[in-house]
Chains A and B, each alone.
Chain A
Amino acid sequence: MRNVWIILKKEFASYFNSTIAYIFIVVFLLINCGLFMNFFFVSEQIEMRSFFGSLPLFLIFFMPAITMRLWAEEKKLGTIELLMTLPMKNWQIVLGKFLASYLFYLIALSGTLTIPIMLLMLNKPDIGAIICGYIGSALLGAFYLSIGMLISGLCKDQIVAFILSVLFCFFFFIVGIDVVSMTIDGWISGLGNFLQNYIGLIKHFEGIERGVLDIRNIIYFISMSILFLVLNTYSLEGRKY
């Protein structure tokens, strides 16, 4: 575990060594909070449903931006040759990098806490729903990050990693939409339904966000994240051959 911490420290620090990280956080907050505030004044309701509702779509673009450099940078600099010859297990390196990017995401996400604070000052919002919304956002973040990391490990170029990660995240998002799942059902009966309810993330996310902490939804995000991290670990092993 000490190895995980060492990698985490290095990776997390390197996020903040560049200005890109700060720009990212600012843009993230501007877009998410800004759009919410726009809607908030119109809707006149003390809740964050619109905020959490649009998050899955926005994160499709934000998360790959965080993960695209995780492996591609190492390959470009040649430091992958250092990492892979350290006396560390591959999973420790993967976990360290993942936790560093996750921590970065959580920091950005915590910047949006100004909204609940504002709501609390105004009136009595449904705190339970807001907490559930943030839990869902945290799980969703882990999900997207693990996809982005896996793809970053498979690509040589950061831009390619970004684009492919966006596409994969988008896939998990889009199969959860009714129109899409009905269309798929039209081609192969039952497949659309299966994809929407089990593979797609929207149903699982909405399940949490609605305030019902169904363990199955939580398991979905955690197990899928673990799956991608495991695949990432194996892909590292595979590059030796």
Chain B
Amino acid sequence: MIRVENLTKRYGSILAVNNVSFKVKEKELLGFLGPNGAGKTTVMRILTTFIAPTSGKAFINDIDVNENPIEVRKLIGYLPETAPLYLDMRVYNYLKFCGEARGLHKTQLSERIDWVIEACALKGVLKQEVAELSRGYKQRVGLAQALIHDPKILILDEPTSGLDPLQIIVIRNLIKKLSKEKTIIFSTHILQEASATSERILIINEGKIIADGSINELEEKAKESHLIIFEVKAKREEVESELDRVAGISEYSYVGKDDETVSKFEIRTPLDRDIRLELDQISKKNNWIVIELHRAEISFEETFLTLTKQSQKM
């Protein structure tokens, strides 16, 4: 449905997008994740034909965004980073303008307006001027504008930015619901947001794609070591002297406990080494009571930082 090939965008000496390539299938939900200034917005602006690439190509439904931008625009609903709202218009009139501008007429227009009002919960603010709305409502009006012509593709730039936790959940659920029928690309710089919303994530940094895959795939790629959490009822020195004798531990650190009879450790081992069984045997040998022994899942934050570091080394 969406095909990006070697996309590059240069502003003077700044390379905002550096040879980016990826594909998005129909009805797929893709999250762009990256820090501010990574190039997420620029890529989206090229896809929506707002700006033209310096080199490379982008295809929406096999239509080249440079050759036939008007046709591309018909297929896409776009919510830019700043919701594009005319502050002096009333909400209903704004939606009507957006619908008309997208080629909707009469009954179809009023049906779609009713639909987006329902979907974005705008019933209470229809007569208000956009300028009077709270941040959350403004964002929803912006989203309504992107949905009004029932596009097959949605491109949402930071759709939850500035919203409070409840509003974020509402928008996130709406995106997930829409993704069953539509192809959606959204962007965020918040790790938790990306992992909570979509399965597939594209990590962008400094204009380049660092990683592209499901969260599991990314975590596998980033994992450089196992992390074992080991908490026993034993004195620190005792445990440390035993750990020193275990082969295959990269490093360990004493995490500490309030209680002096209990000690907690974080142990790192290479990926091909599973020392949990050994730790259990050592504990039995020394009559330690094991309070906690588990392999910690790598956090997404760690995944992101590792992948970013890996890419910078290259």
Contact = CB atoms under 8 A, between A and B. Distances in A.
B289 interface: no
Nearest to A93: B101
Give chain A's interface residue range (CB within 8 Å of chain B): 20 to 34
B49 A85 contact: yes
Q: Is the interface of B mostly helix, strand, loop or mixed?
A: loop
Contacts of B49: 84-85, 240
A17 interface: yes
A18 B84 contact: no
Contacts of B88: 14, 17-18
A18 B88 CA distance: 8
A130 B76 CA distance: 52
A216 interface: no
Given A6-B97, A10-B97, A240-B50, A87 B102 contact: yes
Contacts of B97: 6, 9-10
Among B48, B101, B103, B145, the one with the most A-chain Cβ atoms within 10 Å of its Cβ is B101
Contact of B86 (A77, A84, A87, A241): A77
Interface string B105-142: 00000000000000000000000000000000000000
A212 to B, nearest CB: 44
B85 interface: yes
B279 interface: no
Contact of B80 (A6, A7, A78): A78
A223 interface: no
A79 B73 contact: no
Nearest to B99: A6
Given A3-B101, A10-B97, A86-B102, A78 B84 contact: yes
Interface string B46-77: 00111110000000000000000011011010
Interface in B82-100: 82-89, 93, 97-98, 100
A9 to B, nearest CB: 8
A88 interface: yes
Given A87-B73, A87-B74, A240-B52, A82 B84 contact: yes
Contact of A86 (B80, B81, B86, B101): B101
A88 B101 contact: yes
B73 A85 contact: yes
A79 B84 contact: yes
B82 A78 contact: yes
Contact of B50 (A9, A79, A85, A89): A85
Nearest to B76: A85
B78 interface: yes
B85 A87 contact: no
Given A77-B84, A78-B84, A84 B102 contact: no
A80 B82 CA distance: 11
A10 B50 contact: no
A14 B84 CA distance: 15
B227 to A, nearest CB: 44
B50 A84 contact: yes
A240 B78 CA distance: 17
Nearest to A81: B80
Contacts of A79: 84-86
Nearest to A73: B86
Contacts of A240: 49-52
B14 to A, nearest CB: 15
Among A14, A18, A86, A241, the one with the most B-chain Cβ atoms within 10 Å of its Cβ is A86
Given A78-B82, A88-B70, 12 more contacts: A6-B101, A77-B86, A81-B78, A81-B80, A82-B80, A82-B98, A82-B145, A86-B102, A87-B74, A88-B101, A240-B49, A240-B52
21 contacts: A6-B100, A9-B97, A10-B86, A13-B89, A14-B86, A17-B88, A17-B89, A77-B84, A77-B86, A78-B80, A78-B83, A78-B84, A82-B84, A84-B50, A87-B70, A87-B73, A87-B74, A88-B70, A240-B49, A241-B51, A241-B52
